[in-house]
Copies of this chain bind each other. A is one copy, B any other.
Amino acid sequence: MNEAVVGIDIGGTNTSFGLVSREGKVLSKGSLKTRDFEEAHELVQAVCADLKLQIQSLQKQYPGIRLLGAGVGAPNANPYTGMVEYAPNLSWKGVVPLQKMFSDELETTAKITNDAKAAALGEQMFGAAQGSRNFLVITLGTGLGSGIVANGEMIYGHDGFAGELGHVLVEKNGRLCGCGRHGCLETYCSATGIVRTYLELKPETDASVDSREITRRALEGEPEAQEAYRFTGETLGYALSNFAAVTSPEMIILFGGLVKAGDLLLNPVRTAFEANLLNIYKGKIKIKISELHETDAALLGSASLIYRQVFKE
């Protein structure tokens, strides 16, 4: 082994980090609770303290190994500026120079992007999208995130904030979203969205129910839980048929907690997708579930930010 890259994934709840080989193996890893750290620099210091130990250990095992850089996935990260800007799911205030903070602390190149775009880069380098130049990754976690690759390149948009497919409006006067608007896709198709659907279908349920519990109940055959999955899948499939008309991807990869439900989600997604698709696309676009292990995938995605840059030319 001649080189390794640091991968860091900052989520609203957990922050995971580790070292990733060029072959896509997670060599070592750790995690922290994001909310245990009020300020960004406190989290950065704690993450880097652990990473430095991981790096030392790797260097003992493989003397002469080179650390190529650190890739970071974080909510509301702007790849053009290196800043995390007003992240509603983090306790940090305003604009945080996260890329520079990691670069200074680890004394290496750092690159940041948002978590969903990192996931898409990970799929392209190590997962289901290897060899594809036109695909979407949809992450179904607390919210709905996306990474759009066209002509082989990630679409960042003019300001770094392209690919907010979770905030495409799918229902006029629909559910209130965290963004302040009504009817955003992620209010229906996400871990929190399916809970809202389930509570509408079965209002007597304890409001602390989560998507994992709904999956369990659906797999056990509870009609309301199965209906919640059918509705979520149908809504997502319909939205994906519209996204297909924008970039005409070769495949759409679903990722995140909700996809653990497997065919419960995938069957209604595929049915609604094909039913609503424009003729010229029918039968051409594959909908797949990510084959990467969920925790590792985030690290692989973040690490691929560095690998794709270093080995591009």
Contacts and interface: CB of A to CB of B under 8 A. Distances in A.
A157 B169 contact: no
Contacts of A165: 245-246
Contacts of A151: 150-151, 153, 155-156
B162 A248 contact: yes
Given A179-B279, A181-B276, A246-B246, A238 B162 contact: no
Interface in A124-144: 132-134
Number of copies: 2
A167 interface: yes
A313 interface: no
Contacts of A247: 148, 155, 157, 162, 246
Nearest to A177: B278
Contacts of A159: 248, 280-281, 284
Given A167-B245, A169-B276, A279-B179, A150 B161 contact: no
Main secondary structure of the interface of A (DSSP, over half): loop
A119 to B, nearest CB: 17
A241 interface: yes
Given A150-B150, A151-B155, A155-B150, A164 B245 contact: yes
Interface string A84-119: 010000000000000000000000000000000000
A243 interface: yes
A85 B284 CA distance: 15
Interface residues of A, number: 41
Given A134-B157, A150-B155, A157-B134, A278 B167 contact: yes
Interface string A241-254: 11101111110000
A60 interface: no
Given A169-B238, A169-B276, A238-B169, A161 B246 contact: no
Nearest to A184: B278
B169 A242 contact: yes
Interface in A256-292: 276, 278-281, 284
A164 B278 CA distance: 9
Given A169-B238, A241-B169, A242-B169, A248 B180 contact: no
B250 A168 contact: no
28 contacts: A85-B280, A132-B158, A133-B158, A148-B247, A150-B150, A150-B153, A150-B155, A150-B157, A151-B153, A151-B155, A151-B156, A153-B153, A156-B248, A157-B248, A158-B250, A161-B248, A161-B280, A163-B248, A164-B280, A165-B246, A167-B278, A169-B241, A169-B242, A169-B276, A180-B279, A181-B276, A243-B246, A246-B246
7 tightest Cβ-Cβ pairs between the two chains A and B: A157-B248, A162-B248, A158-B250, A134-B158, A164-B245, A167-B278, A150-B155
